[in-house]
Structure 1
């Protein structure tokens, strides 16, 4: 049974609730109806969380819890309490810590960090024992009084929201109970694993307390200074076979655990460094191959561009040569045509000139013949006139 709220980091109580513990849990009898409505509302919230399929998401991530709370419109405390309730199966994977109380703070962070909930566990156990003692005393008084009055023992009356079953645990109490059982089982397994060591289970709590004292308290400064010195004295005592006291055994166990942790830490650091180095080397090789491939691709691209440019220049040169040849051919043809035309024109001109000269000579010859003919005609005429005139004059003379 519980001696404190299951979701506030409380511990495992005694065999009974006790009046104060029960009323602290459920309130006065007048709260029964209110608690019944609250239980229904919590059941609705639980179903809603299952419908949203967020139960398997990041139980230890507070930002994720806050996001879920805002998404479904609930307070963060409600979401966290349901996540703790529904995800108890992950408790076994969360580390040694968590405590019997299985509180939201102590249980969750203890599972996450692997042991930070021991302080809450001790406080919860102490308060749970007190509440349990009170509850047992009250129940004993009731039983004794009823027996003395020869009255039969009546079933226990509770203010549970489930009046039909006074012994039934509510869903709020169930997570802490399961966590308590799991913690017991884990402690039993750990005890079996450590059975070959001289540190008993009860000494483990003292060892944890001694660890906190050694780390935090000022009274242990001289021992801390002594711890910095060589451990020849301790080794000598161990060789002599002297039986160590409880404090010395605790200190020795702490020292050994520190040494083991330091060795594990160094091994982990070396392993991490080796992994980082391997990863860096792999990344370097990949990057080197990528850069080499890029360089080869760039060289091939430059070669392709150079070849294309050379081919283009060759084509341009051939085109230019063809154009020049065409121009030369055209110029030669033009010159030939011009020469031919010029020769033809000159020949035609000479022919025309010869024709004109021949025509002129012919015309001159014709004119000369005409003039000669005309002269002959004039001479003949004059002869006729002369002949005619002599006769006239002869007649006139007559």
Structure 2
């Protein structure tokens, strides 16, 4: 009798194990190839490598590792490639990832031209693209798609918040030195609209190609205009070179035109030094030394990167973890279902509080107006900013009522 009971028990356990195994296989089958595959397409060797590059890869891998610790049954794989800030190279790599390597989501992208090319491919292949580095507000405006997200900032928020603050300080006339491609044009356009709406005027724009090493001609044009504010609508190495030239020309001295950066990164201030950067005001989505939560994550990042994180690094981590949590909540990595979950789930972490992804794909969150410290005010390494104001997301980003996105219900 005991033997018969033991046999029945054994058979029952075997059947239960088989059912559990089948359930696990079924759950895994909801993930394409049994793995969530993320591609970090970033600039690792060109002008924007300091705001993307290896830092972006590290941030995404940190997010994937943290997620897998919480969810050991979900495998995440991260691959990466250098697009060299060239749209054709980026499109070629994205096509290879989507068509051959089964990459589910591609992130970072770094500049706007790259973003437009890759997002269009993602739309065609029904994959997800998260733009953390690109700034053109058209990514979620006229060129929005159901599969793309703009996570960290856009030219509307960057241009509007900084321009309005300068206008309040008396900077009524502007001249731009701008990057001559999609990002620069969008930034000048959005900032100009804000300036004009506040009663100011734009006296002109000097368009400088990417990778410009000598900004003297462009800055002389700006200075001769008599504008009270010279707005630098560029980023990365171009911004650093422009600020160094401005210092050589004496434009950063008291009494001259106010130099304003419309997209400034921590690495930029580090490169030019506080002596040259002091007093520079700009808006940012993140500052590592803002509070205890930002410091805790940033110190983790520093352990490997040996530098404090950029706003894009923080955005890479936050957006990747949000994506993976949406995959978990959806029970699949199928694009449409995951995008729906990404819009439904709130974002509350060290990067953003009460953030949300709107129907146009824009992640709306608070922005910060900061000022570069004087050298005497900096108390420890990377202590570069004073946070002057918090701009609520609904005031920083374009209202949906003004959106040209076809996905927005009017």
Q: Which bracket does the TM-score occupy, shorter chain normalised?
A: under 0.3
More helix per residue: 1
More strand per residue: 2
Greater Rg by CA: 1
TM-score, reference length from structure 2: 0.21
